[in-house]
Amino acid sequence: MSFKLLCVGLGLLSSLALAAETGVTDKTIVLGQNISLDGGKNAYGTAAARGVRLYVDKVNAEGGVHGRKIVLQVLDDGNKADKAEANARQLLAEGAFILFGSIEGGPSTAVAKVANELKVPFFGPMAGSPTLRRPHQPYVFPVRAEHREEFRALMTWGKSIGLTSVGLLRADTEVGQAHLENVRLIASELGMQVAADLPFKGEVSDAQLDQMVKTIADKNPGMVFNHGSSGLYQRLVAKARAAGLGTSFMGVNSGSTQIAETLGPVARGMVFAQVVPNPRDRKHPITREFQEAVRKAKLSEGEYSYGELEGYLTAKALVTALRANGPDLTRASLIRTLESSRFDLGGVNVRWAPGDHEGSRFVDLSIVGKGGRFID
């Protein structure tokens, strides 16, 4: 065999080796993203998706990851768990390398079920559900902190200002019950009481919301917060304020920007737990990097929201792992890389280990100030 033919043959074998894993070629890496967009009506989902796209476009413009461009295949689950499961199966059947970047607890848990069943990594669910970490999910790699840590931060702050009792708006599901148990556990640790459990199912009518407001008035918790469902929560807060309740309403990160914008002056003084830094400040390297990316993409400063930053940071975490993996990329090698790595994403640290896929512990508190701006 001539030297020229040998080189051609080796080059062909190399290309075949690079393309051996589903969703990976010598030119591309295909990510399957199921996300709750609700046809554009889910404000946090669309913000997170914009943040993901912002980072992916930036990486691709710079040459990709080890010469491979990232291709996003995106399906909308409409915030329905059964649709999320079907979407995850479809994305993998159509050749996605991994599953990536869902939001909302129910849909993310459904995607995790598929990932574990088919033994495919599910990276970066942007949801705080306890089911994504406990019991241990070997193929699920969250980035953001879970709701339990947000609850703890809110309740610790509430206790520091003299509040002694808590109310929780939660879904009437197994996941919602798990959130309630976490709140009860933290309350016990802090010497507080859970005074009002506010479960809901499906679509909630104004009459049902009125009953929740009555429950809050009767039980008189010092503070109330949610585990998600931002649209429902802002309706509850608006009704409670219209009824004259002086309860300290607080919230978790998801939908915080949208709640503040929708409620307007009513939201002033509300405290929110955040799982990424304030996207408008410049104290962390990740926020400075994010703001520069927004400017270079010629987007408006309106894109400086927590949702955009969470999407951006989640995509950055994945790309950092892909780079650390090296060019010989497989699902198995990516899992090995993740379980042996700690990454500083610019002031937000993430880690995963065998049997412990914690991700980030970053939780900050912000208060809604004048004009709906968040103040740390």
| Shared domain check, 138 and 11 | yes
Q: What is the pLDDT of residue 5?
A: 42
How far apart are alpha carbons 310 and 317 in whole angstroms? 10
Q: What is the pLDDT of residue 229?
A: 83
The pLDDT tens digits of the residues spanning 7-24 come to 444 444 444 444 479 999
- With respect to residue 274, please indicate whether it lies within any of the assigned structural domains: no
How buried is residue 247: exposed, middle or buried, by Cβ count under 10 Å (0-12/13-18/19+)?
Answer: buried
| Shared domain check, 238 and 299 | no
The parent domain of residue 229 ranges over: 147-252
- Contact of 123 with 98, CB cutoff 8 Å: yes
| Shared domain check, 163 and 137 | no
Domain boundary among 252, 272, 306: 252
- With respect to residue 248, please indicate whether it lies within any of the assigned structural domains: yes
In this structure, what is the dihedral angle of CA atoms 372, 166, 357, 82, given to the nearest 10 degrees?
A: -80
Q: What is the pLDDT of residue 7?
A: 45
- Contact of 325 with 239, CB cutoff 8 Å: no
Q: What is the pLDDT of residue 20?
A: 72
| Shared domain check, 187 and 89 | no
CATH number of the domain within which 107 lies: 3.40.50.2300
| Shared domain check, 119 and 10 | yes
- With respect to residue 373, please indicate whether it lies within any of the assigned structural domains: no
| Shared domain check, 139 and 15 | yes
How far apart are alpha carbons 163 and 157 in whole angstroms? 9
| Shared domain check, 310 and 237 | no
Of 375, 335, 372, nearest to 357 by C-alpha is 335
| Shared domain check, 299 and 240 | no
The residue with tokens 């409620």 is: 263
- With respect to residue 325, please indicate whether it lies within any of the assigned structural domains: yes
The residue with tokens 């890496």 is: 29
- Contact of 233 with 255, CB cutoff 8 Å: yes
Domain boundary among 208, 236, 252: 252
| Shared domain check, 30 and 81 | yes
- With respect to residue 301, please indicate whether it lies within any of the assigned structural domains: yes
The Cβ of residue 108 has, within 10 Å, a number of other Cβ atoms equal to 31
Q: Which amino acid is at 58?
A: K
Of 103, 114, 120, nearest to 35 by C-alpha is 103
The pLDDT tens digits of the residues spanning 177-218 come to 999 999 999 999 999 999 999 999 988 999 999 999 999 999
| CA distances (Å), origin 29, targets 24, 115, 199, 329, 330 | 5, 18, 41, 9, 11
Helices (H), the chain: 3-18, 43-61, 81-93, 105-118, 147-160, 174-190, 206-219, 230-242, 256-263, 285-296, 306-325, 331-338
| CA distances (Å), origin 2, targets 6, 16, 37, 159, 271 | 6, 21, 56, 78, 72
- With respect to residue 106, please indicate whether it lies within any of the assigned structural domains: yes
Sites in the chain below the pLDDT cut of 70: 1-19, 302
Query: How many domains is the chain built from?
Result: 2
How far apart are alpha carbons 169 and 179 in whole angstroms? 10
How far apart are alpha carbons 81 and 12 in whole angstroms? 43
| Shared domain check, 140 and 197 | no
- With respect to residue 164, please indicate whether it lies within any of the assigned structural domains: yes
Please tell me the pTM assigned to this model: 0.90
| Shared domain check, 130 and 19 | yes
Encoded tokens for 326:
């090296």
Of 226, 218, 216, 214, nearest to 250 by C-alpha is 226
| Shared domain check, 153 and 138 | no
- With respect to residue 278, please indicate whether it lies within any of the assigned structural domains: no
